[in-house]
Amino acid sequence: MQRATENSLSMKLKKLLPELALGLIDARYDTENNEIQTVSIPKIKSGADLFVIAPESSGKSTAIVIGIIQQLKKAFEEAPRAVVIADTKEKAFELEEQFKLLGAHTNLRTFTVFDKGLIQYQKDMIYEGLDILIGTPKRIQELLSTTGIPTSQLKILAVDDAETLYPKNIHTLIYRFADRTKKLQFLIFANRWHEKFDDLSERVMKNPTIINVD
């Protein structure tokens, strides 16, 4: 952990998992987190359910990645402990790349599933053991319907660009996870508020914190 001597860790980084802080430094990430990350990461760490509403390119995806790495810390058992849902295959792989980059000094295991990929191969990879499953809503739905995603250890369900996913019935997928996993932290990140977020809050979330950054 000596590699940060020339640029001593900021107070914000000192509050993070040391392996995560080192990953941020190695990636030349701005150690002075932006507003979204400054406000949301401590809330994620506390275990709170969150709605985070902020414009595109404001750092929401990075907040999801940092928050989940901070929560999970290291590899544990075989079933996934976090599921992250993204709108497209491309976005899902971008998130996986960021998890690998910022979590490079952890042993957290990630895997991405997507529409039109070989579903049996994806099931096999999930059952080989991982910590963070990333995927598109349709393929996550298909896997959940065919017992392809064990939920016994699931702790976090995160949705990026959530407002774009309602035409794809993302709410029904969230409800299915909630029905299977009683102690689940929900992280809903969006560019704008969607009217169905109110229903989501009332049905499955526990006094969610709403972070709204213009």
Phi, psi angle pair for 157, to nearest 5°: -120, 115
Q: Is residue 64 part of a domain?
A: yes
Q: Is residue 25 part of a domain?
A: no
For residues 82 and 185, what is the distance between their CA atoms, to the nearest angstrom? 9
Residue 119, classified by CB atoms within 10 Å of its CB into exposed (0-12), middle (13-18) or buried (19+), is middle
CA-to-CA dists, residue 155 to 21, 102, 167, 187, angstroms? 22, 20, 26, 11
Lowest mean pLDDT among 18-27, 33-42, 50-59: 33-42
Q: Is residue 180 part of a domain?
A: yes
What pLDDT is recorded for position 70?
Answer: 95
78 pLDDT above the threshold of 60 = yes
What pLDDT is recorded for position 31?
Answer: 54
For residues 79 and 5, what is the distance between their CA atoms, to the nearest angstrom? 37
Alpha helix ranges (H) inside 75-183: 89-102, 119-128, 137-145, 170-180
What pLDDT is recorded for position 190?
Answer: 95
Q: Is residue 79 part of a domain?
A: yes
**Identity of the amino acid at 173:** L
Q: Is residue 30 part of a domain?
A: no
For residues 142 and 3, what is the distance between their CA atoms, to the nearest angstrom? 44
Average confidence (pLDDT) over 146-167: 92
* pLDDT class of 57 with cuts at 50, 70, 90: confident
CATH of the domain at 183: 3.40.50.300
Domain interval for residue 119 = 35-212
Picking from 71, 144, 139, the residue whose alpha carbon sits closest to that of residue 108 is 71
187 pLDDT above the threshold of 80 = yes
Kindly report the pTM of this predicted structure.
0.91
Residues in a beta bridge with 209: 50
SS3 call for 144 = helix
How many domains are there within the chain?
Answer: 1
Residues in a beta bridge with 135: 85, 113
Q: What is the pLDDT of residues 101-116, one digit of tens each?
A: 999 999 999 999 999 8
86 pLDDT above the threshold of 70 = yes
Phi, psi angle pair for 122, to nearest 5°: -65, -40
DSSP β-ladder status, 156-159 and 110-113: unpaired
